[in-house]
Structure 1
């Protein structure tokens, strides 16, 4: 039952991704928002630069082809209720996590990274950034958690 192992492994990694996003939504962004704007901005700029060399990014982006691959496999190679759960899990993760990251959070991160720390427009943007970025992050948190749950349910039904 190699499929069950693959489904469950992907679910575990999705759950780990959801956990990182949850930490940001729950207390990291609140802490940065509660600091002085310059401190919050500088910390977020550093976090956004460090993420590029992280295991988290490998997991986050590595699941993009995996989630679509699992959804495609379930669509064309499986029957029964497990297939629907696997398809849902893959598509929810891809749409709600990968697309939101690429179209929502990353452009905001890139804009913040190019801004001068103490400039008035940077301080002004931080007010918008922190709220909007966190909203998008809430969506990524929920999508990756639901995607993981769907894959896990699909794995159990398939087994």
Structure 2
């Protein structure tokens, strides 16, 4: 089981690190760039991304990393390894709760609401400004959680 656990931890560390990098890009330059656009252009660009991402290679990293994280949590409980188990559970919890579930529960509903908006009227401007603030804030949370998850998984591998 040791080799399977190590491979799973390394794969989850790489996956959560990749996801953190993607989220980091959105937090640091994509969303700020969209904020500089006219609301109708920003809305159109973000809506296009939200459609495209569902069929992109991102999903081949985002979802499997959540599955690996759940597997790691189960393995940590079944075969407790002291401090390595703590790091495993921390990494799994950070990714599954603060990255994966927060995406589904918070960011996706905001994306769905944005998909219903077009144009540049007062409602569109209001929705866009709120979206930029709230979506980006939760994206910061996802970025930090995914990065810390990667660190926790690496730390667990180092202890094993």
TM-score category, normalised to shorter length? over 0.9
> Which residue does 1:68 correspond to in 2?
70
Q: Does 1:126 align with 2:128?
A: yes
Q: Does 1:97 align with 2:113?
A: no
> Which residue does 2:17 correspond to in 1?
15
Equivalence map 1:1-159=2 (5 Å): 1-158=3-160
CA offset at residue 57 of structure 1? 1.8
Aligned-pair RMSD on alpha carbons? 1.1
Could you report, residue by residue, the CA deviation over 1:48-104 in whole angstroms, capped at 9, with x for unpaired residues? 110010111221122222211111111111322111101110011111001110111
Within 1, Cα distance between the matches of 2:116 and 2:60?
Answer: 24
Within 2, Cα distance between the matches of 1:57 and 1:95?
Answer: 17
Contact in 1 for aligned 2:87/2:152 (Cα 8 Å): yes
5+ residue gaps, structure 1: none
Within 2, Cα distance between the matches of 1:117 and 1:105?
Answer: 21
Moved more, 115-124 or 93-102: 115-124
Number of equivalent positions: 158
Contact in 1 for aligned 2:34/2:42 (Cα 8 Å): yes
Within 2, Cα distance between the matches of 1:141 and 1:119?
Answer: 32
Within 2, Cα distance between the matches of 1:53 and 1:16?
Answer: 17
Give the TM-score normalised by structure 2.
0.94
Structure 1 moving runs of 4+ over 4 Å: none
Moved more, 109-118 or 123-132: 109-118
Contact in 1 for aligned 2:40/2:118 (Cα 8 Å): no
